[in-house]
Amino acid sequence: MRVAIPHTLGRDEARRRLRDKTARAMEKAESMATITTTFVDDDHMAMTVGAMGYTVDCAVELTDTELVVDVDIPASLGFAKRMIEGMIRDKTGKLLT
């Protein structure tokens, strides 16, 4: 699944906010999920989220106008696709605020 979150911050400011807020977001999620992130380069982050017995890999790409999250959702979670997309939009969007 591909989720694009538009922004008007410019790449440098969006990058700064993403880096600054990722660690805090991971701490807040600790009670519900395990999250690991690795910045591959300035504009790409790899993320793994574990919750409820599932492990989901994500790739995050920052562009000048959007933050794009590619998520590899297991077939067994297909029923929750819209809910997962909503959570991605909400939580990822907050990283840029």
pTM for this predicted structure: 0.85
Both structure tokens of 76: 């067994």
Q: Which domain holds residue 26?
A: 2-95
Number of domains in the chain: 1
Report the CATH number that the domain containing residue 11 is assigned in CATH: 3.30.310
| Residues 95/20, Cβ–Cβ less than 8 Å | no
Q: What is the pLDDT of residues 49-93, one digit of tens each?
A: 888 888 899 999 999 999 999 998 989 888 989 998 998 888 888
| Residues 28/22, Cβ–Cβ less than 8 Å | no
Q: What is the pLDDT of residues 16-61, one digit of tens each?
A: 998 888 877 767 766 678 888 899 999 999 999 888 888 899 999 9
